[in-house]
């Protein structure tokens, strides 16, 4: 029987996304809906560098314990001008007391909670076509007005 290759990844970039004021939609059938607009930010790393184009957002559903289901879409303008669409889906969870601190706008140590997303990228520019058909994992930390993300390609 064939053996799958061992899990491996490589760092693509660090994303520092600046956030705008939260839009609190309230309780809907699936949970507490919030929209967090993305104002812009920077992208720097060994495989991708550029800026976040303002206008994306993170559409969240919060559970009663403060855990969140994340779905974000935004655009990166690479240093060479190419546009890459980012689609990120994942979770942020942990001890309810720590999550309550996050919801109050504090910045607990990222080791106190779990914030991970599965990311896909789309790009039509030949120089970045390698991202199409790949999967990426984001390991993230929430700050009061920003999210810091280390984006890794799954090899």
Alpha-carbon gap, residue 18 to 57, rounded angstroms: 11
pLDDT tens-digit map of 110-140: 999 999 999 999 999 999 999 999 999 999 9
Query: CB within 8 A of 4, min separation 6: which ones?
Result: none
Question: Which tens digits make up the pLDDT trace of 14-36?
Answer: 999 999 999 999 999 999 999 99
Look at residue 127 in the predicted model and tell me its pLDDT: 97
Among the listed residues 63, 57, 7, 71, the one whose alpha carbon sits nearest the alpha carbon of residue 30: 63
**Shortest CA distance to 17 belongs to which of 113, 105, 143?**
143
| pTM of the full structure | 0.93
Q: How many CB atoms lie within 10 A of CB 116?
A: 15
87 touches 73 (CB < 8 A): yes
Contacts (Cβ under 8 Å, ≥6 apart) of 143: 107
CB 118 within 8 A of CB 89: yes
pLDDT tens, 42-83? Answer: 999 999 999 999 999 999 999 999 999 999 999 999 999 999
Residue 150 has pLDDT above 90, yes or no: yes
């Amino acid at each position: 029987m064939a053996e799958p290759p061992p899990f491996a990844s490589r760092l693509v970039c660090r994303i520092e996304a600046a956030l705008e004021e939260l839009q609190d939609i309230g309780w809907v059938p699936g949970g507490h809906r919030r929209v967090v607009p993305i104002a812009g930010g920077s992208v720097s790393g060994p495989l991708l560098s550029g800026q976040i184009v303002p206008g994306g957002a993170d559409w969240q559903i919060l559970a009663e314990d403060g855990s969140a289901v994340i779905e974000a879409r935004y655009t990166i303008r690479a240093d060479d001008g190419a546009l890459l669409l980012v689609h990120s889906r994942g979770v942020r969870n942990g001890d309810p007391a720590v999550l309550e601190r996050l919801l109050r706008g504090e910045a607990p140590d990222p080791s106190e909670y779990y914030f991970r997303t599965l990311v896909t990228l789309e790009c039509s520019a030949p120089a970045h076509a390698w991202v199409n058909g790949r999967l990426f994992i984001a390991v993230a930390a929430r700050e009061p007005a920003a999210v810091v993300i280390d984006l890794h390609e799954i090899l």
